[in-house]
């Protein structure tokens, strides 16, 4: 069994592609190479598929598959030329014999996925999907898009802000508060990345996401909902080292084949900084 086949089977156990929002997302095998690296027995994890990340991965002769949370290809491709930066990077991987797999929203929506990981950092409480997904083998109460967290004990918005900062190891967040000092909140709606299309389906005291548009923020404030924004990939990146590395290693160890090394990129980072 090839390394890409093992990666595909592992993700079907952890985050099946049937859980993704296939109306727009591009998940699963993005690039299958005709001539895989002969000694490629390592899987390389990244959130974004950038030139720095690809260079880092290809310099390591052990890397056989790049798992890029965000797919480098979303729209249909009519030409394979180096004029397109993303296609150029994909072709570099093909030339090097390194395959590409993207889990994206399947990893958001699965149990113990990115959104559950985010919710776990806010506090103890009951977590349920905002939009449940009915998929064989998964209860509708645990799989689906977004998460609504009902805290066991209500807290203030500044308390949530500090918890998020500590959990995601961030010094600054962007906050639009609809609450006064001392107001208690209990229901937090959560969606990693750009979350408004999911979060606007539910009523909550607080929205936690990576990014919102200006007008989406104003709409939330009008309904007395505070908004906490961490920047897009900051709501996703920590999941790779905190959860996914161990989950993949466990599945690889159980499949009876050769050991697989799981590596997290050192150069993958949020492009926006607050100064």
**DSSP codes joined into one string, 175-238:** EE--S-TT-EEEEEEEEEEE-HHHHTTS--SEEEEEE--HHHHHHHHHTT-EEEE--GGGGTHH
Helices (H), the chain: 3-14, 51-59, 85-96, 104-109, 114-120, 157-168, 196-199, 214-222, 237-239, 245-254
Q: CA nearest 206: which of 112, 106, 107, 123? A: 123
Residue 205 marked ligand-binding: no
Residue 215 marked ligand-binding: no
Residue 196 marked ligand-binding: no
Residue 70 marked ligand-binding: yes
Residue pair 132/140 in contact by the 8 Å Cβ criterion: yes
Question: Residues at the annotated binding site for a divalent metal cation?
Answer: 70, 108, 232, 236
Question: Residues at the annotated binding site?
Answer: 70, 108, 232, 236
């Amino acid at each position: 069994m090839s390394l890409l086949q093992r990666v595909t089977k592992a993700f079907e156990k952890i985050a099946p592609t049937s859980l993704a929002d296939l109306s727009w997302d591009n998940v699963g095998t993005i690039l299958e190479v005709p001539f895989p690296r002969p000694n490629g027995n390592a899987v390389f994890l990244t959130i974004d598929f950038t030139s720095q990340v690809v260079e880092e991965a290809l310099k390591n002769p052990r890397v056989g598959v790049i798992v890029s949370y965000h797919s480098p290809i979303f729209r249909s491709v009519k030409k394979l030329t180096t004029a397109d930066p993303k296609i150029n990077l994909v072709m570099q991987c093909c030339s090097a014999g390194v395959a590409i797999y993207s889990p994206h929203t399947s990893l958001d929506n699965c149990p113990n996925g990115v959104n559950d990981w985010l919710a776990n950092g806010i506090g103890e409480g009951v977590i349920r999907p905002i939009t449940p997904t009915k998929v064989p083998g998964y209860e509708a109460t645990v799989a689906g898009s977004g998460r609504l967290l009902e805290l066991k004990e209500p807290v203030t918005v500044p308390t949530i802000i500090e918890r998020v900062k500590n959990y995601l190891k961030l010094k600054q967040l962007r906050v639009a508060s609809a609450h006064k000092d001392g107001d208690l909140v209990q229901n937090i709606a959560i969606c990693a990345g750009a979350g408004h299309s999911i979060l606007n389906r539910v009523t909550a005291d607080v929205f936690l996401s990576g990014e919102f548009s200006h007008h989406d923020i104003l709409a939330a404030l009008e309904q007395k909902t505070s908004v906490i924004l961490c920047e897009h990939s900051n709501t996703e990146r920590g999941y790779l080292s905190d959860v996914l590395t161990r989950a993949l290693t466990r599945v690889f160890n159980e499949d009876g084949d050769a050991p697989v090394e799981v590596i997290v990129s050192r150069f993958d980072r949020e492009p926006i900084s607050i100064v």
